[in-house]
Amino acid sequence: MIRIGMLSYWHVHAEDYTKQVLSHPNTEIAAIWDELPDRGAEKAAKYGVPFIANLDELLARDDIDAVVVDAPTNMHRDVMVKAARAGKHIFTEKVVATTVSEANEIAAAVRDAGVKLAVSLPRLYDGYTQSILEVIASGKLGKLTLARVRLSHNGSTANWLPAHFYSKEQCGGGALIDLGCHPVYLVRKFLGLPESVSATFGFVSGREVEDNAVAVFAYSDGAVGIAEAGFVNSHSPFSIELHGTDGTLLYGFPEEKILVRSTQDSEKVWTEVPVGDRLPFAFEQWVGHIEAGTEATENIEYALDLTRIMEAANRAAAEGKSVRLSDLEG
């Protein structure tokens, strides 16, 4: 049994990861820490485990093997470096950090300590993603020239997101660094790591952080990637567009169907591609890596690339110019 310390309930998905811990046959909650003691004590009472107000004390306990980190994003580096140095395996919400420098510090601490790290990147493992990758590999689309992924909800305009999700200090940004993570890592999956990033942020609801965002990725072969995210749309379906020299793939316009049209098909009509089975969630994969002594190599690669792209996008929006990933420090 892997005994887990839950580190903070700041993030909106913290309860979801709690359910994953409780439902997995090989994991259990051993203790809870939270930067807000009242919240932590409430959660500890709810789940019948000790609340430990001091993070160092929790990390020093021998009856805790691993931690799930849902602390504010600006605390990720300090919390995870401490956890790694204490010999605790780490599962965390995205983004792993807001800057390349901090993400590399976390990765180095994990590597030096020999603990297992995994980051929640759920749409990377969804069934539609696996089926779309099969279409790309088949060559029906030819050479990919454009990938666009959009994810948006009305959390800001309908006022259901927690207030701290609008804190630039705690979050490192708004819609793009929250919802936009999913479009960003999917475009990264479809097209690869871009050379440079530009971005435009909108502030529809007048918050401190952006609630309407577009990031554009440039590639050396002429391809273009587009990631869109927002907190200000009531009926904006999650959608994926892939365009290539020989064909186009659409998903979510608005039905959750994959449609492909290719010049390689004799009839040249839109054809539905079945959505396949999803891969295991990152949490389940993480537990497997702990048990097998293996590494979540691809997951960590994509998490670090996500931070690279996010830092570039935030800088591009602030400076009003394209930012090359090679110019980022770290």
d(CA 41, CA 55): 14
Q: Which long-range contacts (CB under 8 A, 24 or more apart) does 197-203 make?
A: 197/309, 197/312, 197/313, 197/316, 197/322, 197/323, 197/325, 198/316, 198/321, 198/322, 198/323, 199/313, 199/314, 199/316, 199/317, 200/317, 201/174, 201/176, 201/317, 202/230, 202/232
pTM of the model: 0.96
The 10s digit of each residue's pLDDT in 219-250 is: 999 999 999 999 999 999 999 999 999 999 99
Tell me, what DSSP letter sits at residue 51? B
pLDDT on residue 267: 85
Angle at 86 between CA 82 and CA 87, to 5 degrees: 120
Which of the two residues, 266 and 330, has the higher pLDDT score? 266
Cβ neighbours of residue 258 closer than 8 Å, sequence gap 6 or more: 128, 131, 132, 135, 249, 250, 251, 272, 273, 274, 275
DSSP percent split of the chain into helix, strand, coil, nearest 5: 40, 25, 40
The 10s digit of each residue's pLDDT in 253-287 is: 999 999 999 999 988 899 999 999 999 999 999 99
Mean local confidence (pLDDT), 88-99: 97
The 10s digit of each residue's pLDDT in 6-45 is: 999 999 999 999 999 999 999 999 999 999 999 999 999 9
